[in-house]
Amino acid sequence: MVQSLSFLLFCIDSSFIEKFAVVIVTNPSLANMHLISSLCWDACVPLVVVKSYGFLGECRLQLREHDMMETKPDPEYLYLRMNAPFASLQQFCDSIDFSKQTPEEFAHTPFIAILRHEAAVWAAQHEGKPPQSRAEMKEFKAHLKTVGTPDEFYEDGTKKQSYLRDNYKEAQLNAGHFFESVKCPLSLVELFATDRLMRIDDTTSSTSKIDDFKVLLIALREYIEGPGEGIHWPLSGVVPDMTATSDMFMALQHLYKQKADEDRSAFKNILTSVLLRLKRASDSIPDEAIVTFCRNILNLRYLSSECSIRDRHQTPKADFARSFLNEETYWDDPTQVPY
């Protein structure tokens, strides 16, 4: 009964729409849609407008501000700092002696160590430079294939049909990532360039539900500029499955997790100072959120509609729409496609 009374009060209060996580409208009349669009825009509530007519359908989102931490890409790209190793990773790779490996060890060396070793070999033969072109990358990968397919012989000395070892195959697949320049990823650059994300005014309206996300982003930017030296962000600490001995794999997992914990700790210190600066309690963002944030730095996204559906209907982008009717520009010259 108490619940029912409070819900009744929702109806009287014009901000009843704020209670909802999402509003779904199906096949509304235009007036209905405009009204709900405005209500949801003002209350900063995500709106989904669905229209269906037999087998045709349309689904439209209105998101005033929507932050995402766990976008769960599949497959997920796990950044490993292969070419900018931290101390423990460097030590791990240096400890492997490639000149004295048994066939078993050879086939179970983690691809990270293989790449570090082979990249050094390449650099020594190319004036200290990494592969400079697609042709050179192809050469590098071909070299990995040669090294990774060791000669094998039968007892009578005849040559066996050999095969590329799995770990060297993994090295080939990750070679491109290895040589990527170490810099702030595009997704973060875009987020940092979004003015309304990176600023928190004292007069922030109560409809902003993503304050935590904004604060975390501000702290992240400070981390990258500070301890990250402009190019590093807190490591996620996750290591992909790979062909390796159990001991080696567990050792790698351990050192990555250790580094991630250290990074997150440094990040947390920065976050605390940002919170205090914004006059918020230093523990107002729960640990769980910080862990999720640091684990998903490459997966962070922010969506924001330009305006409400109602506003878009009242000030349509007529030229943009009209340009699609111009067959010449749309079909013949791809550079003219206006998106």
Burial class (CB in 10 A: 0-12, 13-18, 19+), 212: middle
Q: Does 6 bind other proteins (CB under 8 A)?
A: no
Q: In terms of CB distance, is 231 or 289 closer to other proteins? A: 289
The sign of the CA dihedral 36, 38, 44, 49 is positive
CB 239 within 8 A of CB 92: no
Q: What is the rounded CA–CA span in Å between residue 134 and residue 120?
A: 19
Question: Minimum CB separation from other proteins for residue 204, in Å?
Answer: 21
**How far lies 129's CA from each of 89, 118, 120, 151, 168, in Å?**
21, 13, 9, 29, 22
Q: Does 26 bind other proteins (CB under 8 A)?
A: yes
Q: What is the rounded CA–CA span in Å between residue 214 and residue 197?
A: 6
Stretch that binds other proteins, among 30-38, 129-137, 200-208, 273-281 (CB under 8 A): 30-38
Q: Does 31 bind other proteins (CB under 8 A)?
A: yes
Q: Total residues at the site for other proteins (CB under 8 A)?
A: 33
Q: Does 7 bind other proteins (CB under 8 A)?
A: yes
Question: Minimum CB separation from other proteins for residue 313, in Å?
Answer: 14
Residue 159, φ and ψ in degrees, nearest 5: -80, 135
Burial class (CB in 10 A: 0-12, 13-18, 19+), 293: buried
Stretch that binds other proteins, among 1-9, 147-155, 196-204, 277-285 (CB under 8 A): 1-9
Stretch that binds other proteins, among 38-46, 205-213, 259-267, 312-320 (CB under 8 A): 38-46
Binds other proteins by CB under 8 A, chosen from 2, 29, 102, 281: 29
282-301 residues in contact with other proteins (CB under 8 A) are 288, 292
Torsion of CA 309, 315, 320, 324, to 10 degrees: 70
Question: Minimum CB separation from other proteins for residue 82, in Å?
Answer: 27
Stretch that binds other proteins, among 34-42, 185-193, 207-215, 275-283 (CB under 8 A): 34-42
Tokens of 40: 């949801």
63-92 residues in contact with other proteins (CB under 8 A) are 70, 72
213-272 residues in contact with other proteins (CB under 8 A) are none
CB 88 within 8 A of CB 255: yes
Which amino acid would we find at residue 332?
D
Tokens of 168: 């060297």
Question: Minimum CB separation from other proteins for residue 284, in Å?
Answer: 19
Binds other proteins by CB under 8 A, chosen from 6, 22, 120, 230: 22
Q: Does 14 bind other proteins (CB under 8 A)?
A: yes
Q: Does 313 bind other proteins (CB under 8 A)?
A: no
Q: Does 11 bind other proteins (CB under 8 A)?
A: yes
CB 295 within 8 A of CB 237: yes
Q: What is the rounded CA–CA span in Å between residue 106 and residue 165?
A: 9
* Site residues (vs other proteins, CB under 8 A): 3-4, 7-8, 11-12, 14, 17, 19-29, 31-32, 35-36, 38-39, 42, 50, 52, 57, 70, 72, 288, 292
